A = this chain, B = another copy of it.
Amino acid sequence: MHIGTLAAAAGLSAKTIRFYEQAGLLPAPPRTPAGYRDYPAEAADRLAFIRDAQAAGLSLAEIRGVLAIRDAGQPPCRHVTTLIETHLGHVDQRIAELLATRTALQDLHQRAQDVDPADCGPEGICRILTTTA
């Protein structure tokens, strides 16, 4: 299987696959006599795993860690569970931050409705955005 075929199967670009190899996520495949990468069918599974793990919010570095454990013959379950818990914490925190930002933006939007542009002299920068200046 050439890199383009694998790329099409996985829905990635060939560039990305080479990048994953270089980043230690995908083992270097055998080569054809001409030097072309020649992937076994399992490579698509590994890329699918990377996709799933990315969708769960894991970084490539974390995914590399999981793969390394599995490649060493260990079941990475405990490691993965920890990662998931850590990520749940991060995601919850980020959601809380975004909700706060959302509230702030809605306040600003309300203020924008109340401000008459004609009232805006050259003294400040913007009456909508400034806190109390």
Contacts and interface: CB of A to CB of B under 8 A. Distances in A.
A117 B99 CA distance: 37
Contacts of A94: 98
Cβ-closest 10 pairs across A and B:
A75-B120, A81-B112, A77-B117, A75-B117, A49-B125, A95-B98, A88-B105, A70-B125, A91-B102, A84-B109
Interface string A61-75: 000001100100101
Nearest to A121: B75
A53 to B, nearest CB: 5
A18 interface: no
Give the interface residue-count category, chain A: 35 or more
A85 to B, nearest CB: 7
A109 to B, nearest CB: 5
Contacts of A99: 95
B102 A88 contact: yes
A45 interface: yes
Contacts of A105: 56-57, 84, 87-88, 91
Interface string A93-114: 0110011011011101100100
A48 B104 CA distance: 16
